[in-house]
Amino acid sequence: MNDRFIELDRIEKVFDVRKKTGFLRRERREVRAVDSISFTVARGEMVGYIGPNGAGKSTTIKMLTGILTPSGGRLRVAGIDPSRERTRLARRIGVVFGQRTTLWWDLPLIDSYRLMHRMYRIPDARYRENLGRCVELLELGALLDVPVRQLSLGQRMRGDIAAALLHDPEVLYLDEPTIGLDVISKAKVREFLKDLNTEQGTTVLLTTHDLQDIEQLCRRVMVIDHGRLMYDGPLTGLHEVGESERTLVVDLERELPPIEAAPARVVRVEGPRQWLAFPASESAAPLVARIASAYPLVDLSVREPDIEAVIAQMYAQQAVSNAVS
Amino acid sequence: MADLDERAVARPAEDPFGEYGVYSRVRDGLRAYRMIAAMWIRSTMAYRASFAMTTFGNFAATSFDFVAILLMFSQVDELGGYALPEIALLYGTSAVAFGLADLLIGSMDRLGHRVRDGTLDTLLVRPVPVLAQVAADKFALRRLGRVTQGLFVLGYALATLDVAWTPVKVLMIPLMVASGGLIFCAVFVGGAAFQFVAQDASEVQNAFTYGGVTLLQYPPSVFAKDLLRGVTFLLPLAFVNWLPGLYVLGRPYPLDLPTWVAFAPPLVAVACCALAGVAWRAGLRTYRSTGS
Ligand SMILES: Nc1ncnc2c1ncn2[C@@H]1O[C@H](COP(=O)(O)OP(=O)(O)OP(=O)(O)O)[C@@H](O)[C@H]1O
Ligand SMILES: [Mg+2]
């Protein structure tokens, strides 16, 4: 039961898009926003859900919260079918949309919280405790009496995160919670989410375009593109899947023609310095030995592929294979 | 923990009296409505002077309708065969009925915006009915201005009417206002449901609500028969004040209808609300959010 807290089985979402092509003429087109995705998330996990723009991340979250009904497949969150029993599920989940607020725009922040208190029927003691913790950790104290529309983006986001947690949700969905935040705010939010997950055991699923969020928070990451799940596993495993390359930076005694040392290939030359790319799965030692025996070496270093580049490559590859198919 | 799992496994109660049945949803909805409306009232009351001014403004603006009728009567003695107190009765009852509906759920005509920009999403993830949240959103107490204005005109009508009051006729007045209010509420909800499909339809909705109440302020005898048929059988606005009002005044309705229809408004109101509820659910099901 517990290891299948969130369960998606071949979930699909197809949007019917109608476009006006002329006077009274309309063209119908189907957009497969989510295309047969299956995964499960256990209670207490913290999962990153990433992918390029338009990959279907937000659509997935909307189905998980019951906002959208899947076009096909089976979906359960805590044993509940979200779109059929949306209201019942609502008590048990928290949602933060980075792009829009769930707070009451024209009213002071504290009014939204008071209303949540009664709307979710949160016991008084729990409410005070949760609000107190959020106010302290998210530094909301000075903002409580400010109307939401006057808050800055980062302040509002922190306010939204607190609002999503007052009722002790079992799972928290965050759709781009760090979008537009400065470095300090981001760090604060990440710290808070980490504590929430480890101390309260809240299950967290977050989408983001900031890979640092994932690196610092999630042991598990799912990559989705064109509505399909491309990768599901630990962040480090992405290197292997992504056919990523490491770089060998070689400083020679003098300028020389490009080094020949397959499978490495020279990708850049700058005076006596040359950059060689080789598959991340290859060991660097024999390569270094070969180069050292054939060329006058001064210095050398190996650079690991950064995750950012791996993912960029993965997105790009996907785009190419889609163009081909 | 065990408790949670049990809840997760339990199927939703099909029983309408159960925890997630129709009745508990209505109860939850009303409760949420009261909570949200109360919050808006509290926030309005923080600026009392501004509240007093906007309420008076609402009162004055809605009074112009009746002033126009008064001006007409400075030239003529009757309109469509009706004297001023009689018209005041029709005007007062429909104005109060509409004013109450407008006060309670008048902000629903903005639903189209929420549908178009996808902000309805945030209401869908809360554990209370969406209808209650939309209806109570930006609850504006200043709309009491219209109700007050209607009550003044109604008071004038009751004081000056030359009618042989029977207990039934006396009872008819509050009944008219209550069922009329419900009928208008149903029109508001139905119009909002339509905005799920046509997001720019708030103009259409306004034509039926604000247009409808303006229509009802005049006696039916000044309108064409086809229009009367429309507002009797299609969009039953005639049941707000015309049919029961003409019974009170002891006048026949221009269409050939039996007398008992004067007592039908409560039933018509309930039927309209049920229909509007069905339309709302159907509309909400078509909601598909927006990209982003
Ligand atoms: N309500 C909608 N109607 C029509 N098409 C939609 C709708 N919502 C999303 N889409 C389409 O579905 C696809 C996936 O959109 P989605 O918002 O899930 O992407 P995303 O992964 O969240 O992207 P981003 O990183 O840009 O937020 C896109 O092609 C988008 O145009
Ligand atoms: Mg998105």
Q: H-type helices in B161-264, by residue range? A: 167-197, 202-216, 225-229, 242-249
* pLDDT beyond 50 at B4: no
pLDDT of residue A33: 94
Cβ–Cβ gap B39/A114 under 8 Å: yes
Q: How far apart are CA A219 and CA B261, in angstroms?
A: 70
Chain segment B202-239, per-residue pLDDT in tens = 888 888 889 999 999 999 999 999 999 999 999 999 99
**What spacing in Å lies between the alpha carbon of A118 and ligand 2's midpoint?**
30
Question: Which residues 66-95 of A have a C-beta within 8 angstroms of B?
Answer: 66-69, 78-80, 84-88, 90-91, 93, 95
Q: Is B260 exposed, middle or buried (0-12, 13-18, 19+ CB in 10 A)?
A: exposed
User: Which ligand has the minimum distance to the alpha carbon of residue A68?
Assistant: 1
Chain segment B44-60, per-residue pLDDT in tens = 888 899 999 999 999 99
Chain segment A90-103, per-residue pLDDT in tens = 999 999 999 889 99
> Which of B269, B261, B247, B92 has its CA nearest to residue B179?
B269
pLDDT of residue B6: 41
pLDDT of residue A279: 80
Chain segment A92-139, per-residue pLDDT in tens = 999 999 988 999 998 999 999 999 999 999 999 999 999 999 999 999
CB B246 within 8 A of CB B192: no
CB B191 within 8 A of CB B205: yes
Omega into A258 within 30° of 0, i.e. cis? no
Chain segment B92-110, per-residue pLDDT in tens = 999 999 999 999 998 888 8
Q: How far apart are CA A70 and CA A60, in angstroms?
A: 9
Q: How far apart are CA B279 and CA B154, in angstroms?
A: 33
Nearest to A100 among B42, B122, B291 (CB): B122
Rg (CA), chain A: 24
Question: Which residues 261-300 of A have a C-beta within 8 angstroms of B?
Answer: none
* pLDDT beyond 60 at A171: yes
pLDDT band at A321; cut points 50, 70, 90:
low
Among A13, A17, A59, A176, name the best residue to mutate to test ligand 1's pocket (greatest count of ligand atoms within 8 A of Cβ): A59
Q: How far apart are CA A260 and CA A276, in angstroms?
A: 10
Chain segment B237-258, per-residue pLDDT in tens = 999 999 999 999 999 888 889 9
> Which of A170, A195, A201 has its CA nearest to residue A64?
A170
pLDDT of residue A217: 93
Chain segment B106-151, per-residue pLDDT in tens = 888 889 999 998 999 999 999 999 999 999 999 999 999 999 999 9
Residue A269 C-alpha, separation from nearest chain B C-alpha, in angstroms:
43
Mean pLDDT to the nearest integer, A283-305: 82
Cβ–Cβ gap A90/B121 under 8 Å: no
* pLDDT beyond 50 at B12: no
Quick one: chain B helix, strand, coil %, rounded to 5? 75, 0, 25
pLDDT of residue B15: 56
pLDDT band at A241; cut points 50, 70, 90:
low
Q: H-type helices in A260-305, by residue range? A: 285-294
Sheet of A25-41, strands arranged across: A25-41, A6-22, A72-77
* pLDDT beyond 90 at A299: no
Lowest mean per-residue pLDDT among A16-25, A190-199, A306-315, B126-135: A306-315
* pLDDT beyond 80 at A68: yes
pLDDT of residue B86: 95
Q: Is B160 in the pocket of ligand 1 (CB under 6 A)?
A: no
pLDDT band at A297; cut points 50, 70, 90:
confident
Among A30, A58, A224, A229, name the best residue to mutate to test ligand 1's pocket (greatest count of ligand atoms within 8 A of Cβ): A58
Please tell me whether residue A169 adopts helix, strand or coil conformation: coil
Encoded tokens for B150: 């209607």
pLDDT of residue B10: 43
Distances (CA, A) of B83 to A257, B88, B90: 108, 9, 11
At CB < 8 A and 24+ separation, what contacts does A187-196 make? Answer: A188/A138, A188/A139, A188/A158, A189/A138, A189/A157, A189/A158, A189/A161, A190/A216, A190/A217, A191/A137, A192/A137, A192/A138, A192/A161, A193/A46, A193/A217, A194/A46, A195/A137, A196/A165, A196/A172
Chain segment B148-188, per-residue pLDDT in tens = 999 999 999 999 999 999 999 999 999 999 999 999 999 99
Distances (CA, A) of A268 to A93, A273, A274, A275, A300: 51, 8, 6, 5, 15
pLDDT band at B13; cut points 50, 70, 90:
very low
